[in-house]
Structure 1
Amino acid sequence: MNKKLKLFLIGIGLKATITLAFTMGGFASSNNIALSGLMESDIPLEASSLIPQECSYMQITNLVTKLDETAGAYLGTPGNDLIIGAPGNDMVMAGDGDDCIVTGGGADAVMGEGGDDVILAGEGINYIDGGDGIDTCYSGGDLSETIINCEQ
């Protein structure tokens, strides 16, 4: 069964309330479920539940995101941040700390800056600069991307 999961962040901080909306469809592409099959519910969720496996060892202290799906600028804190971008073109300046940065599709500009960061950039023509520290960078694999200061 295919599942599409869409997250809308309602709160910011170490604890957040998240509205989960998902639709379920069958294996064949011709099987569709009408919007009446859309389910929505609010559940409390720890920010640690949003941390991708690549960042599971990190001591995340802050969640940085936006309350809607529009692309834009994200500024990290001096602490260890989980920064979650939008599907569009994002600009992320992570700041100090060991940060986990996750962007969606689009042409993203990601600056890890200080700390040992993990950058997970989605598909699109991305500019990734790990900055100072020992940084691990993953990208969508577009050959036109610029990736610098990533040691792993």
Structure 2
Amino acid sequence: MKVLLLENVKGLGKAGEVKEVADGYARNYLIPRGMAVPATPENLSQAEYKKRIQEAKMKRLAEDMQALAEALSEITLTFKVKVGEKDKLFGSITNAEIALALERQLGRPFDKHKVELEEPIKQLGIYSVPIRLMPGLVAQVRVVVEKED
């Protein structure tokens, strides 16, 4: 029996693929659990339609993320902090603080997990901080850490 997979099935295939499986496996396992549907022309055309909609959404998302990456590359975040001896910061600047500053500057929520700061910033200076917006798209934000007056 040919089935259209609705989700990834380990050892069988990925969502959207058409696979030939044993009748009993399809009727007793895949179809009742909502993992697949019979590969009828109606189901195939509906799956193709959903696939086109999903591709259009992904294309729009990629365009939006590219525009955001360009906007982020123009941003400079300035942090004024208290320092001790040898210009060492009291505390540090973390990815959460950078994400919060980006939220304020952009006026929209920003996930701290997108900020790829290897370790918190503990010295004065200028840093280039990578922001992973989506797989294959990384923007750089300039972060300036200055001494508080």
Tell me which protein shows more helix as a share of its residues: 2
**Greater C-alpha Rg:** 2
Q: TM-score, normalised by structure 1?
A: 0.21
Tell me which protein shows more strand as a share of its residues: 1
Q: Relative contact order (C-alpha < 8 Å, sep 6+): which is higher?
A: 2
Q: TM-score, normalised by structure 2?
A: 0.22
